């Protein structure tokens, strides 16, 4: 599902969390959904928005890693190795998405 959605530049949105008052569980579910590759989690109440946004925001470490990878890619044609890992187009696109999400967080 995630690969098909990504191939067509479509978002994959996680289902709503029905217990409006239980923001702790919502945060755990949203962090899990983000780790699985969902683009967002739908909210049914304004009180849920902040925790969902925070759950999908990249960490400082993820932002730094993505920026370092993209900087290294500037001097590397095609597939290359970075910090012992293979890097190709999809990995670079993921890093670009992390940096874009960081811009939303920082801006």
Helix axis angle, 89-106 to 60-73, nearest 10°? 130
Chain centroid offset of residue 74 CA:
22
Q: Is-catalytic flag, 88?
A: yes
Positive/negative CA dihedral, 58, 91, 35, 12: positive
Catalytic option among 19, 22, 32, 88: 88
Q: Could you give the residue numbers annotated as active site?
A: 88
């Amino acid at each position: 599902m995630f690969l098909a959605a990504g191939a067509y530049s479509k978002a994959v949105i996680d289902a709503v969390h029905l217990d409006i008052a239980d923001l702790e569980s919502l945060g755990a579910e949203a962090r899990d959904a983000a780790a699985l590759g969902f683009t967002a989690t739908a909210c049914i109440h304004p009180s849920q928005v902040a925790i969902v946004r925070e759950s999908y925001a990249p960490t400082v470490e993820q932002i730094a890693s993505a920026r370092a990878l993209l900087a290294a890619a500037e001097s590397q044609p095609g597939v290359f190795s970075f910090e012992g890992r293979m890097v190709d187009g999809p990995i670079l696109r993921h890093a670009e998405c992390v940096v874009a999400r960081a811009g939303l967080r920082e801006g």
